A and B are shown apart, each in its own frame.
Chain A
């Protein structure tokens, strides 16, 4: 009960933040009512998905300071669990999604047990390596369609199918992912003020000191990793139903892992709003880059170049991203 109340307790944040957040959320709520292109709709859905991936990354990467560049592997686990079980056994999304989460958590303990002993760059590289190994397995694994991937036969279901999330009208997907988004945000709001949230910030600061305060560093990281992959895997399952066509390349690639990390890093790692701001900037940018510069001007791969530039920019100017700049301006005003 105390936990539930804490989810809704935003009282430590400035009123201005909450006003802006409220306005943005209201705008997003009424967005489908107004006329819009399907391009805009898919961009907003992607925004929610990536904000959620970013929130997941932010737990371990932002609050915990463990820069993971392999989270896409859990997106793949979620997406493939849902796709495979839907195609082979007609399993409803609401069953396959939790199963995907459980598989993702089991796998994250395997990965985490070995990589969390590493520090800094070694940790980041190890997460990349584990992720690429898993992707390679999926590329050759016949059961999951190998490199050609899987296609969910949407004709088998009649839209709107709320059990299997097969809709011809994207507004349904929109409402669903919006609900996920709100739940995710409330959860993170609890998480950041929970015991684990405090322990993580202590670990990020200095592991030696964290240990001296009775914190089991390895276990705290593993628990947080489980939280992170729950976010990513659950939304990965949604991704499968929404896109209906999945391959290892677009569910587990390094590009995707980096993009997930960038959401929080650009917006502000270790802050509540960070991943949302990051997704708000990067997803429209990504659509634009892919659609216009990539497809029309023939600048294939330009998006990756831009992400690289953003990473360099963040590390040079403000490691805490856009939110860090906002905080700095605020501090200066108060002083």
Chain B
């Protein structure tokens, strides 16, 4: 079943076309990756889908409903939640309070929200941080809090914008486990934007490649990385060589 259907989406800023006639579908239960060089329009695509800004033309159908003209909070309430690439969590709220903000989307009752937050903290293995201020945690833990908060809204579709950026390989493994948990155990469809190729290769069922606002490739991760256009635009010759010769590529790939 199709959960998200993006049709000919175009968004420009002044003369710059950040999303150019992009179409793709995401099936229920899928885990889709979006890759592309800096400034390719990946974050803009999330903004366009999630209603953060009006789009120039095209259509977004979510769960059988046209959400193109809806505002972002309305879209969130329909079950489409996104996280932000640059989001330094506030120093004001504790971890549990942050997660509760998410939980309050579905309930007005404080005790229900608190109970749900407790469960989510446990699932994300951050219950020991419940009373810490988010701003004081290391980045990896903050990212986990951001994902836990998003899960408080009990989404059907979760958009994750570079949750593994800036983490050590070990921390990336932790984030991968968390994403698998969200996807498999909680049954949430996920779209993730990522520069960390290891994550894309190991986690995603399917990958979409953007370059200069356009979709230049789409397919299984193993095939997409062999695509000459993708290698030229994004991965570079070195990645292709190392990848096909089996040399491990662990670290975040150098951004072109």
Contact = CB atoms under 8 A, between A and B. Distances in A.
User: For the complex, would chain A's binding face be called helix, strand, loop or mixed by DSSP majority?
Assistant: helix
Contact of B100 (A198, A215, A216): A198
Nearest to A9: B110
A273 B52 CA distance: 36
B40 to A, nearest CB: 21
B93 A201 contact: yes
A215 to B, nearest CB: 6
Given A212-B50, A214-B153, A205 B71 contact: no
A208 B77 CA distance: 15
Interface stretch (B13-21, B82-90, B230-238): B82-90
Interface in A56-75: none
Contacts of A208: 52, 84
Given A204-B92, A270-B92, A213 B101 contact: yes
A209 interface: yes
Contacts of B81: 212-214
B104 A198 contact: yes
A111 interface: no
Interface in A138-185: none
B193 to A, nearest CB: 15
Interface string A6-35: 100000000000000000000000000000
Contacts of B72: 211-212
A119 to B, nearest CB: 16
Contacts of B83: 212
B159 to A, nearest CB: 9
B18 to A, nearest CB: 17
A206 interface: yes
A195 B93 contact: no
Interface in A191-206: 193-195, 198-199, 201-202, 204-206
B5 interface: no
Contacts, number: 77
B191 interface: no
Contacts of A194: 110
Interface in B147-205: 149-150, 152-153
B152 to A, nearest CB: 8
Contacts of A202: 93, 101
A201 B92 CA distance: 8
B92 A209 contact: no
Given A201-B101, A206-B87, A213 B153 contact: yes
A310 interface: no
B97 A201 contact: yes
Contact of A205 (B93, B102, B107, B113): B93
Contacts of B89: 205
Given A199-B101, A201-B92, A215 B84 contact: no
A212 B82 contact: yes
A115 interface: no
Contacts of A195: 104, 107-108, 110, 113
A2 B97 CA distance: 19
Given A214-B153, A216-B73, A206 B104 contact: no
A48 to B, nearest CB: 28
Interface in B29-85: 50, 52, 71-73, 76-77, 81-84
A96 to B, nearest CB: 32
Contacts of B92: 201, 204-205, 270
A102 interface: no
A325 interface: no
14 contacts: A2-B109, A6-B110, A194-B110, A198-B101, A199-B104, A205-B90, A208-B84, A210-B73, A210-B101, A213-B81, A214-B105, A214-B153, A215-B73, A216-B71
Interface of B: 50, 52, 71-73, 76-77, 81-84, 87, 89-90, 92-93, 97, 100-102, 104-105, 107-111, 113, 149-150, 152-153
Given A212-B52, A212-B72, A213-B150, 11 more contacts: A6-B110, A195-B107, A195-B108, A201-B101, A202-B93, A204-B92, A208-B84, A211-B76, A213-B153, A215-B105, A216-B73
Q: What 7 pairs across the A-B complex have the smallest Cβ distances?
A: A205-B90, A214-B105, A214-B76, A211-B72, A195-B104, A202-B101, A214-B77
